[in-house]
Structure 1
């Protein structure tokens, strides 16, 4: 199953009442339980938010009753429910079926109360128990005594005579004297009732032989042995400092974790005095509190003189040099770029936003991860498979709609024929959108290349401008066209040029406001043909990121169908098509500039077309 929409279906269902809330909570736990940690995404995070809302509708006992009957293998669910009430946390821990490595990674992150619930599990391995002991959870069940060490009496004696007083018990953790202290006076014999009878306490010799009446002494010796082993285990665990500056330096299972990779960049924020108040590094204490703008070379953190002067004059910092002496992760030479911040009320200086990058001389010492090109190619192939799966049912819907419209199965009322025609048109539009998405995926993953034939760009652009002119004239748009009087041969197939330039013109035509002025010009340079189109005001106010964003809204009008997936998607696809053919599409101020490689010498135009 390529498309699994069970979780989306559950999230679309609204609940009303505690019974429905309990049912949906059970469904969400069933669906999230088998999901591995590496496969969690934004939809699963939304499911956790829905779980929080359901837990609000149910009380602590209601959530716990649902979780007690659901076995799952998700450490994320255990961590999430551990933040809830005690009954919910206990039920989530009890119902979890996690591997040893999952427990080792999860336990240090659990609240203290939830750690206490983990100790009651009977399937914990030695490594998990050792981790809980290091975290202060020591009250496990006592180890089973050796066979025959304690003999339970078959019947309680009628009375027991105590001839001497038992020595006072020593404090826990201290050895007990092997010989009892001398007693001055012997207390009188005390007769105990049968239900209060107990064996006589004995000394706590570790190697003393046990008799049938040594039950209490055996339990005490087992307690002493348990504490002795715990102290030996804690003493055998050394406190090893970490090179990456992680604190506190306590044995919280960190010795099993792989060493972290040194960062290549760090974002900082300072106050008006130049002191770091925020650092995007873990732990931030490696840099928070440092003063960055000191030119004193004897300081642990100092900068070069141009960076100090820029701070003094409250100017932007460009390629400043910062030297840091400290933890291995942050020590060394950094390149600093930053901008000053000023308050909106009064314009007072409030500090700097900085980004530190490793200096070029230190790049060789920092391992750089290779680009994940195979992963990107696999993701593109997976998207193409998904589009193929979506085409199959839509093709079937379109075919049946066309059969109903053409009355293949017999006479059909006009109302149903009209509905079938509308369905067939919508299906065709969806299939066209799928083709555009697949084309963009193939172009960006370099799985598709553009036909680099030879065509006359001037004639094609002039014809397209002539086609779009009536739409612009209906909006009272003033159009100025400047075309060269000669041919402009480019290394681009004619149909590719027509398709790509039409995307730009359709975006402009659907976004322009009535009364605006649009300029379209084409000129040939030494190696390229440059097409410039003025941006409408609605697009000019956007930055480059928002302009090419896939979710950028589209305008209305008769040309909106060509940009059915949004203006941003159409511009992104046009840019990918230009780049695949050796050209480019970029924004320069308030206009689009598209460049195409020339195919040869510019010849006089045999047939001139003006729009």
Structure 2
């Protein structure tokens, strides 16, 4: 019999700094979720550490840890009870999706808070045992805490008391209809400004917006990662310093009057008697015409080109180490390794290569944004390049069951451009079209000489049906496209890919145009035209695999 000492190992790890304690906190949650409810000294000690370090873990981290518990494996009740002690925004997703037997619910519900039980009452899939347990706590949960109002002595009846006349039923119905009309008008009218207050933890607890349900519960303590909804780093940094902020960015996810972008300003509030920090008070408004709520950086992000280039460099260093160790396992350089480990190492190598491609795109975009001069331009044969790119993307097209219709016209002139930049540009544009295409769809990839006065070479890639009909502005701003979960969209979004393609084309004196049915890249060609090459005819002819 083996003794499982993973919990003891995690508890014994050094946790002298907050970052280390956050890592151990997540490890303990993961280990406790794999155990059972049997009481043990180590399990009790682990929960004691979790409660002790909970305040050092950001709300977003605690919320993601709770959501990761939802799955096929049963969740221990003591872990559910632990998360139910946290803020509502942390445990609400867990209680909304966790599935437990009726007898387990009967034991767990009495140990939950009234707020948690109130959330459970909104579920329609609970077993009968859980519903009966909630009904037993109905009167207790609806009691308002606090001292009871003192009983007032009865007033003496007047000698000539005037009886209250009940209003007419038609008057009551008219009032109800007027109230509903005002509520409907308030919901349909877009909110333009509101005031808010937060607690000491940064969570918005009050606001005077009509659609306050979408705003109350948001936190200004932590910046939203990437394109997620929430506040930007300006508000989060000011919260950590207990400093005022002005015109920070806030995005609200829920569709409705309160959804979208906001500019928020706030000042910290302190208790007058003790000086203790009590939260923030502030206002929010819609961005004015010509003003964006978010900071405009590289390709519409909040990062400048230098910052993004530095970020790519910082990520590339550990990524190379991970790829190196995975390759050593795959090739069994340190000794024999089981087949399962080698397969896992192969998968890690494939994922690290995808991330390396993303970092290359970020570095390329950062150079274009910062005005860094490109590498020495060389004469590039676009026909040979496009044939090589489509051949390399053949396995992707085969997996997606997409047909690449490659057509290369004769007498296509070469272009003067950085070879690495144009190959990356063509690869990203064609792979984006393949990734967004549906099974059975045909993507035309065409190369032809320009028809203008200046010598040009035109590359055209057919737009997939998923993005047909969208205008140029929406395509360049697209991060997530409705329905793209059916395919394999670009990791950084179609908008990022199109902006990078346009930047590379403009750096060589060309441009990207969005036609109703195609993406057209125009590149200036060299004056001397070359005769058609055998490879061009081979690329145009039907062949095995995805090329047709």
Shorter-chain TM-score category?
0.3 to 0.5
Higher RCO (C-alpha under 8 Å, 6+ residues apart)? 2
Larger radius of gyration: 1
